[in-house]
Amino acid sequence: MKNKGFTLIELMLVVIIIGTLAALVIPRLAGRAEQARNTAVKADILSNIPLALDLYELDNGVFPSTQQGLDALVEKPTTQPLVKNWNGPYLKKKPIDPWGNEYRYICPGINNIEDYDLFSIGKDGSEGGNDDIGNWED
């Protein structure tokens, strides 16, 4: 009677092949998650949230104040400057970056004096780091 199954050598050969393939593929995918988060933040900062802010400004004649913040895009503001033509919500919920932090909004902006600054504090969770992404960057 002949034994059915794999020999130890055959199993070791399969493990070595899988290990070699993993060693080639995993380094190529390692930085992709962080790159995808950065791309999502840039899309939010350069198009998604600005579109809502532009609609708000079109309806009300002004952008939300720094104090009102991005909350003014979700609920009608109750602080100055009060608005009469609020037709929101302009966003379904307050925007959060991929690292779980709220986007920062300053109006009038420090970098965009005639407009507003909109930025993410990035992965490190602190303002002013090298990983901050803002609407004033190229």
Q: How far apart are CA 44 and CA 40, in angstroms?
A: 6
- State phi, psi for 74 to the nearest 5 degrees: -105, -40
**Residue 81: cis peptide before it, omega within 30 degrees of 0:** yes
Looking at residue 2, its pLDDT comes to: 66
> Using the 8-state DSSP alphabet, how is residue 80 labeled?
S
Residues 6 or more apart whose CB falls under 8 angstroms from that of 98 comprise 37, 40, 41
Closest CA to 121 of 97, 91, 138, 137: 97
pTM: 0.73
Domains and CATH numbers, the chain: 37-134 (3.30.700.10)
Q: Which residues pair with 104 in a beta bridge?
A: 119
pLDDT per residue over 45-84, tens digit each?
A: 988 899 999 999 999 999 999 999 999 999 999 988 888 9
8 A C-beta contact, residue 107 and residue 131: no
Q: Which residues of the chain have pLDDT under 70?
A: 1-3, 27-31, 137-138
Q: How far apart are CA 60 and CA 54, in angstroms?
A: 10
Looking at residue 58, its pLDDT comes to: 93
Length of the chain in terms of residues written: 138
